[in-house]
């Protein structure tokens, strides 16, 4: 078994604690921007346009991820202690919430600023997959994304008493590691295709790939079954997958029609 004996808390000053989970979010956002920014400029966006969209997207993504997590939990504790809604240091961020919020921001920004929504969704996809990977490192340290107890040689024992794992002596499937490996694979695919596909396609490849991965990984995640043997994240992933596949074919059909209209005059001449 593999023992993880790292405290989720890096250091504390009085009642203020700096945690690995929060630090990984900062690192993920920073490196995600460093990777996606040059790609966005290659796509033709200006510094001013990028700054405006990022200014709203980052906080919207964080709030969306937290709120989507909260609404999936028993609401009693949050209603009795509303401050817990904002207690992200205790763990609990649902990435689909971040995706929904950021996509909404990009649609609004694209409409108001008269910029290509599809191109910006491609940029957001590249940013998201990088940020996700570093978020998973925070999850690994926290012990807040785990699978079922296991006797597999790569099972994780979260020995630190501050870990979020239910037991500090039992080995669990390292679900966060599985997710991190998927992020690496998705990044490799997106990076290879980033300058080869039409606007919007990179985003759809990311959403479709991520949704499929969630259906699979949650087979081993220790979460409550909700409906037809499926867990909440799997149900969300299937719904998003259906919408994403439909969106993929609609956008591709529209792009083909546009291409035909552009080529027809040339053929006539």
Q: What is the reported pLDDT for 268?
A: 45
Question: What is the reported pLDDT for 90?
Answer: 64
Confidence of residue 24 (pLDDT cuts 50, 70, 90): very high
CB atoms within 10 A of CB 168: 16
- pLDDT at 257 (0 to 100): 79
pLDDT one-digit tens code per residue, 100-114: 999 999 999 999 999
Residue 33's pLDDT is 94
**Per-residue pLDDT at 269 exceeds 60:** no
Percent of the chain with pLDDT over 70: 94
Domain boundaries, the chain: 2-196
27-54: average pLDDT: 94
CB neighbourhood size of 143 (10 A): 26
pLDDT at 267 over 60: no
263 vs 247, residue with greater confidence: 247
Mean pLDDT of 253-260: 79
Instruction: Please tell me which of 10-14, 128-132, 141-145 the model is most confident about, judged by mean pLDDT.
Output: 128-132
pLDDT over 80 (residue 80): no
Q: What is the pTM of this model?
A: 0.89
């Amino acid at each position: 078994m593999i023992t993880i004996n790292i405290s989720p808390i890096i250091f504390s000053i009085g009642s203020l604690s700096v945690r690995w989970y929060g630090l990984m979010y900062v690192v993920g956002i920073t490196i995600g921007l460093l990777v996606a920014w040059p790609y966005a400029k290659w796509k033709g966006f200006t510094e001013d346009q990028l700054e405006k969209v990022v200014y709203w997207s980052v906080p919207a993504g964080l709030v969306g991820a937290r709120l989507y997590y909260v609404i999936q939990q028993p609401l009693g504790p949050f209603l009795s202690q509303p401050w817990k809604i904002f207690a992200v240091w205790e763990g609990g961020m649902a990435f689909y919430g971040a995706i929904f919020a950021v996509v909404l921001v990009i649609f609004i920004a694209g409409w108001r600023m008269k910029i290509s929504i599809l191109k910006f969704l491609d940029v957001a996809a590249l940013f998201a997959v990088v940020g996700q990977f570093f978020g998973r490192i925070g999850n690994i340290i926290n012990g807040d994304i785990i699978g079922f107890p296991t006797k597999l040689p790569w099972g994780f024992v979260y020995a630190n008493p501050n870990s979020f794992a239910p037991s500090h002596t039992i080995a669990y499937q390292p679900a966060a590691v599985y997710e991190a490996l998927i992020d690496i694979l998705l990044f490799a695919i997106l990076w290879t295709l980033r300058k080869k596909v039409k606007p919007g396609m990179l985003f759809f490849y990311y959403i479709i790939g991520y949704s499929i991965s969630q259906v699979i990984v949650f087979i081993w995640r220790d979460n409550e079954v909700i409906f037809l043997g499926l867990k909440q994240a799997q149900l969300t992933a299937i719904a998003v997958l259906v919408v994403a596949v439909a969106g993929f074919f609609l956008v591709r059909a529209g792009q083909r029609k546009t291409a035909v209209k552009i080529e027809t005059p040339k053929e006539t001449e």
